[in-house]
Amino acid sequence: MRTRVLGGWPRQERTLVPIIPLLAMLAAPSALAQASGQGAQLFTQRCATCHSVGEGDRIGPDLHGVLERRDEAWLTRFIKSPGALIDAGDPVAGELLAKFNGVRMPDQSLSDAERASLFAFFRECTQKGKGGCKPSPAEKMGTDATPEEIARGRRLFDGTEPLTHGGAACIGCHDVRGLGIAGGGTLGPNLTFAFARMGEKGMRPALAKLEGPMMGALYAKAPLVEEEQYALKAYLADASRDGSRPRADRDFFYLGVVGLVAALGFIGVVFTTPSERGHS
């Protein structure tokens, strides 16, 4: 038989119950930060083409402070099906359609958890103030890159454009199909299909951390900035689109041709008589 004490709770339970809300309060900041981070990634992948957060209107409106301007329930309905609200005669949806030149936002099939993380990101941006919550460019999907971003990634890879912090170009240790005449290095793995193997989820942290015995030492004091991480990811994503295998003997073939031409030229010089050289 359990003994009750003052207040109606056993002594053990009275001491344990207050700990539960305390733990919830301690866990809340980290949970909110995690949700906001997921929302930032989702925004970059799904929304940043048409919207900014604090940098002005684009194809669609600037979403800084959107949860202060709009009711959350209305925003949820609009995200799910903007066209349905427009066709139903919703005045706010109609006003947005007119303001942005009749461009209709496509329906977004987000889960409840995804939508909650997006809203957490918007709230954090509002707290930080306008311009204080720019999503990381590295979070953008590599497959969404522009031709200019892909071209920059290739230049960074082959070293024709130096890295911001002076790190070594990837070509010194790695190769990618179609890179130069002689190709790249062979100290590290061929990266032609790196994006296909690792996917967006694996490639993003790999470029951010650059771990491993060799890369860790090379880039410890020269990490890639976020724009460089994205450009390289874009280049590798583009290289992975061609599924045919690169030629394993490519480097040796071209190096052999160049070596043969150089050798023949040298032989020609050595075996030319002085009189023949004088007539030339």
**Do residues 150 and 70 touch, judged by C-beta distance below 8 A?**
no
The hierarchical CATH code for the domain 12-135 is 1.10.760.10
How many whole angstroms separate alpha carbon 161 and alpha carbon 140?
A: 22
pLDDT given for residue 279 in this prediction = 53
pLDDT class of 40 with cuts at 50, 70, 90: confident
Q: b/e string for 126-135 if b means 16 or more Cβ within 10 A?
A: beeeeeebeb
Distance of CA 83 to the CA centre of its chain: 30
247-263 average pLDDT score: 46
245-257 average pLDDT score: 51
161-180 average pLDDT score: 91
Distance of CA 198 to the CA centre of its chain: 13
- Give yes or no for residue 24 having a pLDDT over 60: no
Instruction: Give pLDDT tens digits for 76-114.
Output: 999 999 999 999 999 999 999 999 999 999 999 999 999
17-39 average pLDDT score: 59
pLDDT given for residue 258 in this prediction = 41
- Give yes or no for residue 280 having a pLDDT over 50: no
pLDDT given for residue 229 in this prediction = 93
pLDDT given for residue 256 in this prediction = 46
- Is the model more confident about 90 or about 48? 90
How many whole angstroms separate alpha carbon 237 and alpha carbon 242?
A: 10
To the nearest whole number, what is the mean pLDDT of the chain?
A: 80
Number of C-beta neighbours around residue 144 at 10 A = 15
- Give yes or no for residue 271 having a pLDDT over 80: no
223-230 average pLDDT score: 92
pLDDT given for residue 35 in this prediction = 79
Q: What HEC string does the chain produce?
A: CCCCCCCCCCHHHHHHCCHHHHHHHHHHHHHHHHHHHHHHHHHHHHCCCCCCCCCCCCCCCCCCCHHHHCCHHHHHHHHHCHHHHHHCCCHHHHHHHHHCCCCCCCCCCCCHHHHHHHHHHHHHHHHHCCCCCCCCHHHCCHHHCCHHHHHHHHHHHHCCCCCCCCCCCHHHCCCCCCCCCCCCCCCCCCCCCHHHHHHHHHHHHHHHHCCCHHHHHHHCCCCCCHHHHHHHHHHHHHHCCCCCCCCCCHHHHHHHHHHHHHHHHHHHHHCCCHHHHHHC
**Do residues 84 and 105 touch, judged by C-beta distance below 8 A?**
no
Q: In the chain, what are the domain boundaries? A: 12-135, 143-168+191-245
Tokens 């689109």 -> residue:
241
Tokens 């060799």 -> residue:
214
pLDDT given for residue 139 in this prediction = 76
245-261 average pLDDT score: 49
189-213 average pLDDT score: 90
| Tokens coding 180 | 């130069």
